[in-house]
Amino acid sequence: MLYVFELWIVIVSLLVLNLCHWIYQWRNPKCNGKLLPGSMGFPIIGETFEFMKPHDVLQFPSFVKKRVIRHGPVFRTSLFGSKVIISMDNELNMEIAKTNRTIGVPKSITRLFGDNNLFVQSIESHKHVRSLTFQLLGPQGLKLRVIEDIDLLARKHMEEGARNGFLNVKEAASKILIECLAKKVMGDMDPETAKELAICWRKFPSGWFRFPFKIPGMGVYDMMKARKRMMNLLKEVVLKKRASGEEFGEFFKIIFGENERGKEKMSVENAINYIYTFFLIANETTPRILAATVKLISEKPRVMQELQREHARIVGDRSEKDAALTWEDYKSMTFTHMVINESLRITTTVPVVLRKPDHDIQVGDYTIPAGWTFMGYPNVHFNPEKYEDPFVFNPWRWKGKDLSALVSKNYVPFGAGPRLCVGAYFAKLLMAIFIHNLCRYRWSMKVETTVTRSYMLMFPQGCDVQFSEDTKVD
């Protein structure tokens, strides 16, 4: 009996010793040089819960601000089971963005997009699909193929909202985006398939950034189930169209046209995977940013008046009041573009540079180890030396500046370098057309409507606009 008791003491002691060693290794990661200051938190969990606490959209997370005070503008931490470097240093962010091509994201996102996803994994394939996508969603593609469809869809949803007396901005923008992209990519779909795809979209929870455990009841598990069903639906549509000779949307025409000309090929499976990825990212980002923009406009009567004046002029200059919006109309929306630029500047309080360096990087006396996730925040957006009163929403600060630029040294809402957001032009177009059609009505947003961030933009009280009874603007 005594022997068994002593054996258990030895076993428990070894377990405790191994546990302590594991915790020590977690808190003190190996590094070829001097590791940046910071804390790794608890094993696996790290400091994720504090990082994900909701915060005001116009402020950086208190998690980041506290650690900048304690450790400086670049520090280490652990989030979502991964080792992470967080940077508020704009010069370092731009250097990392330009010299590193491998995207750095938590494993939950890698699983959501698929391990073989072209968008996440292959550098060369990423360059290829960027080129293909730009043919559809670059300025020329938007001008020839997209602008009229978005305008018609925006009008339809706005008229429906006016009849009901209210409109959920995020939901309406999401429907416009999906209906437009689905048609341009896939072509016409039967109503049942389109309905089932819409149901799959609603299965995706807002918090992509989750712990990477595929366990029933957890977010990643639900995401993976929705992803599998959606991928199967998209594949069924593509194979059915190919077999019957039905017409595809523009994106598949571009892909299949390339294959026929003997250029670099993309398999149907990879094309479907990429389309799924692009749809998911676009649907979870642009509608939220647009809803936050509408909220900012609603709080500034002078901004709303100037927008209504601009869009009344555009409508008034048409030979027919109900004529479709043209590319020239879009380019003439000077103040609208100023509003969009300012909204993107002030609401981008999340990392815009996400990379995973493939080699150690020296930062002063410190080393960023290869394989760690690098998250660069756009601290420059709130630098008072670059922007006067940076926490004030002021579209007029963009007067006389290049409103078509997606990125500059002091403006990085879409990231930078070779991973610059491929849908940036599309996002700005959708926002401008939505605002154009909204400003043809008299509308308001409830004072209690709030916008927060828990990495993604959140709307705890909803994001509805209310239309006045005498709703049409003269």
Question: 421 labelled as ligand-binding?
Answer: yes
Let me know: does 335 contact 313? Beta carbons within 8 Å: no
- What local confidence, expressed as pLDDT, does residue 212 receive? 54
Task: Determine if the pTM surpasses 0.85.
Answer: yes
**pLDDT per residue as tens digits for the range 297-310:** 999 999 999 999 99
Containing H/E element for 77?
strand 74-79
Residue type (1 letter), 368: I
Q: How far apart are the C-alpha atoms of 397 and 339, rounded to whole Å?
A: 10
Q: How far apart are the C-alpha atoms of 416 and 163, rounded to whole Å?
A: 42
Q: How far apart are the C-alpha atoms of 152 and 433, rounded to whole Å?
A: 10
Task: Look at the block and give the residue holding tokens 């799924």.
Answer: 276
Residue type (1 letter), 141: G
- What local confidence, expressed as pLDDT, does residue 473 receive? 52
**Low-confidence residues of the chain: pLDDT under 50:** 474
- What local confidence, expressed as pLDDT, does residue 132 receive? 77
> What CATH code would you report for 39-187+247-472?
1.10.630.10
Handedness of CA 256, 258, 260, 262 (dihedral sign): negative
**How many C-alpha atoms does 336 have within 13 Å on its Cβ side?**
26
Residue type (1 letter), 157: H
Six-digit token string for 442: 């008299």
364: DSSP letter: T
464-472 and 441-445: which strand pairing?
antiparallel
Residues 6+ apart with CB under 8 A from 150: 176, 180, 429, 430, 433
Domain regions of the chain by residue span? 1-30, 39-187+247-472
- What local confidence, expressed as pLDDT, does residue 336 receive? 97
Let me know: does 347 contact 453? Beta carbons within 8 Å: no
- What local confidence, expressed as pLDDT, does residue 161 receive? 92
**Helix (H), strand (E), coil (C) string for 38-92:** ECCCECCCECHHHHCCCEECCCCCHHHHHHHHHHCCEEEEEECCEEEEEECCHHH
